[in-house]
Structure 1
Amino acid sequence: MAKITAGIATSHVPAVGHAVDSGRTQDDYWKPMFDGYEFSKKWIAENPADVAIIVYNDHASYFGMDIMPTFAMGIAEKFNICDEGYGPRPIPVVEGHAELATHLAASLILDDFDMTVLNKLDVDHGLTVPLSLMYGTPDKWPTKVIPLPVNVVMNPQPSGERCFSLGKAIKDAVEQFDGDLKVHIWGTGGMSHQIQGARAGLINLPWDIQFMDDLINDPETLQYKPHLEYMVEAGSEGVELIMWLIMRGALGDKVNEVHRFNHVPASNTSVGHLILTPKDN
């Protein structure tokens, strides 16, 4: 059977993608942040996935204010790179795993999660920046990808409890798939940051670190954190962290902390990164 063997959490700052694409990762400003992912690049090369389910949010790049699904799943064979205003990033096309994605979508819908099924999808920096952080600049991404966009842009947004439950349902669905696959699940976005208004540039590193501790050790309680607290303590974009709860729900009750990294600032945001494995592995 297929099995989820690891969970990865990481921020998906758009300026990070620009630093990669423009060859600036070793600049004085960016080098400390990229150094924090060197362990991860080696780890993922030694512990590869056949498929990565990447939970991310579209930043009104492919979707827009007219259509913004709460939960969606890309089931296509490939996903092109979004033009986010300056042309698509010069990176490989993202290859999908249509068979597993179709199985997951059907299973989740039967579990009463109303997934929007996407036969066509272009992916923006929410998904591509994490790929660049973990894999660098390959000619071809070394894993197939199932995109799972979540609405954290427009009200109303899904609750943390609903996201955590979705992760649990994903775990069950993966294990019901008739195929021998190693699957990673990624939760992207965050950590504390606000990009507009009087509090633009807000960073709350102590809150971020506590969130990571709770995600590892007490996710059953963390899932009930209200959206208002994310906004007050972590800024208006901090609610992206509910996507990490989907990743964590898919790993089971107990996890091993393989790697943790925090860095401030990266383009006026707080970067956070975790690699977790299920305790029963």
Structure 2
Amino acid sequence: MARITAGVTTSHVPAIGAAMDLGKTEEDYWKPVFAGYEWTRQWAKENPPDVVVLCYNDHGSAMSLKMIPTFAIGIADQFQPCDEGYGPRPVPVVEGHPDLAIHIAQSLILDEFDITMMNELEVDHGLTVPLSLVYGQVDKWPTKVIPIAVNVVTYPQPTGNRCLNLGKAIRRAVESFPEDLSVQVWGTGGMSHQIQGARAGLINKEWDHAFIERLLNDPEDLAKVPHIEYLREAGAEGIELIMWLIMRGALGDKVRELHRFYHVPASNTAVGHLVWEPAA
């Protein structure tokens, strides 16, 4: 049977992708950011999954105010990088796993999660930057990817509790798939940041670190945190962190931490990154 072998979280700052694409990773500003992923890149080579279920948010690229699904899953064979206003990123086409994706969609819907199935989906930096951070600049992504897009852009967003339970439902779905597959679940976005308004540039290190500890040790309590606390403490875009709860729910009750990285700043944001695995 398929099994979930690890969980990864990471910020998906677009400027990080631009730094890679423009050859700026060794510049003084960016070098500490990419140093935090060196351990992960080696681990990823030694622990390649068959499939990554990657939870991210679209930034008005494939979706718009005309269509705002709370949760959407890509079930296609391929997902093209989209043009976000300056041309598509020079990264490989993302290859999907339709059989597992359709199985997950069916399982989630029968588990009473309303999820939109996307037969066509262009993916933006929310998905491609995490892949670049973990796998580097490659000609082909070394894993198949099932995108799960979460609305964290337009009110009302799903609750943290809904996201934690979605992760648990994804775990049930994966474990009921009969093919022998190694599956990782990634949650992206965050950490604290705000990119507009009077509080633009807000970073709350104390809250970020507390969030990670709660995610590790008491996710059920963390899932109760209301949206207003994310907004107040982590900035307008800090709500992206609810996607980390999807990863946490998918790993089960106990986890083992393999790697943790936190860095400020990266394009006026706090970068957070975790690699965890299920523990007995």
- Is the structural similarity TM-score above 0.5? yes
1:204-232: CA deviation from partner (whole Å, max 9, x where unpaired): 01110110011011101000000000000
> What displacement does 1:110 show?
0.4
Residue 207 (structure 2) aligns with: 207
Task: Write out aligned runs for 1:12-23 (5 A).
Answer: 12-23=12-23
Q: Distance in 2 between matches of 1:28 and 1:79?
A: 34
Q: How many residues align?
A: 280
> What displacement does 1:68 show?
1.2
> What displacement does 1:181 show?
0.2
* 2:134 partner letter: M
* 1:258 partner letter: L
Residue 247 (structure 1) aligns with: 247
Residue 54 (structure 1) aligns with: 54
* 2:264 partner letter: V
Residue 275 (structure 2) aligns with: 275
Residue 101 (structure 2) aligns with: 101
Q: Distance in 2 between matches of 1:53 and 1:201?
A: 30
Matching of residue 64 in structure 1 with residue 64 in structure 2 = yes
> What displacement does 1:66 show?
1.1
> What displacement does 1:167 show?
0.3
1:22-72: CA deviation from partner (whole Å, max 9, x where unpaired): 011111100000000000000111111000000000000110111111001
Task: Write out aligned runs for 1:159-174 (5 A).
Answer: 159-174=159-174
Residue 36 (structure 2) aligns with: 36
Matching of residue 184 in structure 1 with residue 184 in structure 2 = yes
> What displacement does 1:243 show?
0.3
* 1:3 partner letter: R
Secondary structure in 2 aligned to 1:161?
A: helix
Q: Distance in 1 between matches of 2:94 and 2:227?
A: 32
* 2:192 partner letter: S
Residue 149 (structure 1) aligns with: 149
After superposing on structure 2, the runs of 4+ consecutive aligned residues of structure 1 that deviate more than 3 Å are none
What percent of counterpart residues are identical? 67
Residue 116 (structure 2) aligns with: 116
> What displacement does 1:274 show?
0.2
Residue 85 (structure 1) aligns with: 85
TM-score for the superposition, normalised by structure 1: 0.99
> What displacement does 1:104 show?
0.2
C-alpha RMSD of the superposition: 0.4
Residue 221 (structure 1) aligns with: 221
> What displacement does 1:20 show?
0.5
* 1:238 partner letter: G
Q: Distance in 2 between matches of 1:3 and 1:101?
A: 14
Secondary structure in 1 aligned to 2:251?
A: coil
* 2:148 partner letter: L
Matching of residue 265 in structure 1 with residue 265 in structure 2 = yes
Q: Distance in 1 between matches of 2:65 and 2:205?
A: 31
Secondary structure in 2 aligned to 1:258?
A: strand
Secondary structure in 1 aligned to 2:80?
A: strand
Unaligned runs of 5+ in 1: none
Secondary structure in 2 aligned to 1:65?
A: coil
* 1:114 partner letter: D
Q: Distance in 2 between matches of 1:62 and 1:265?
A: 28
Q: Distance in 1 between matches of 2:145 and 2:232?
A: 33
> What displacement does 1:115 show?
0.5
Q: Distance in 2 between matches of 1:76 and 1:8?
A: 23
> What displacement does 1:79 show?
0.1
* 1:252 partner letter: G
